[in-house]
Amino acid sequence: MVLDQKQTTVAYRCPHCGAGVLSAVGLFALSADMIKLKCDCGHSEMTMVYSKDGKVRLSVPCIFCPSPHSFTLSSSLFFGKDLFLLPCPYSDVNICFIGETNMVKAELARTELELLDILEENGVGDFSALHENEEKMLTDPQIFDIIMFVIHDLEAEGKIKCRCEHDDGEFEAEVLDDAIRVSCKKCGASQRIPTDSMLSAHAFLHCDSLHLE
């Protein structure tokens, strides 16, 4: 089934209350102005902008990370897929769902079960506890250990990618106050990995690759 190229359904999951937030998005409305998809709880919103170069730029709230993630898609990809998923860069969990309405709803339901399992493993009772007191949280040394282990493992397996040709990057990890920044000494590409919660570390533990931008 091929979707109408001028409309699609977009959804994300609110990091604060856990609700799936879903809306139809048309090309005409998107071309006219920024679209904001807001959760009824008032604590999160996803933004979409259609740029002059024909790209759709998204800012998506994340269950695991304190800041939203930015994505850029071609308009043909944004409006032309039955189902297209955008994951958190530090986990295998999808945070943005685009496509045919029933398929988007089904994927929202599937990932809710996946997230509840992760929360239970980390002793988190519900979604509302995910980002409580984020600014007051102190970084646990165990979180650094987990993330550094995964970084070294990915590097050893050649699964850290940057802008260098022929996978010829030279990588280093810098410890910041609330993150570890992995960067390539040759091309300058980098990526920040949040270290502000055990939940973020658990998500990164399941990461199978790391792409520096």
- Do 118 and 176 fall within a single domain? no
- Do 31 and 80 fall within a single domain? yes
Specify the pLDDT at position 128.
Answer: 59
- Do 91 and 189 fall within a single domain? no
Residue 71 belongs to domain spanning: 7-129
CA–CA distance, 88 with 41 (Å, rounded to integer): 22
Domain count, the chain: 2
Task: Pick the last residue of a domain from 70, 104, 129.
Answer: 129
Residue 56 has pLDDT above 80, yes or no: yes
CB contact at 8 A, 93 and 112: no
Main-chain phi, psi angles of 79, to 5 degrees: -100, -5
Task: Pick the last residue of a domain from 111, 129, 147.
Answer: 129
Model confidence at 129, in pLDDT bands (50, 70, 90)? low
* Residue 1 is assigned to a structural domain of this protein: no
- Do 115 and 75 fall within a single domain? yes
Sign of the CA dihedral running 108, 49, 210, 68: negative
* Residue 180 is assigned to a structural domain of this protein: yes
Sign of the CA dihedral running 179, 47, 78, 117: positive
Residue 122 has pLDDT above 50, yes or no: yes
Q: Which segment of 41-45, 87-91, 187-191 scores lowest on mean pLDDT? A: 87-91
Specify the pLDDT at position 86.
Answer: 93
Pairing type for strands 55-60 and 45-50 reads: antiparallel
- Do 109 and 150 fall within a single domain? no
Closest CA to 114 of 129, 132, 99, 127: 127
Residue 133 has pLDDT above 50, yes or no: no
Pairing type for strands 83-87 and 69-74 reads: unpaired
* Residue 155 is assigned to a structural domain of this protein: yes
- Mean of the per-residue pLDDT values of the chain: 81
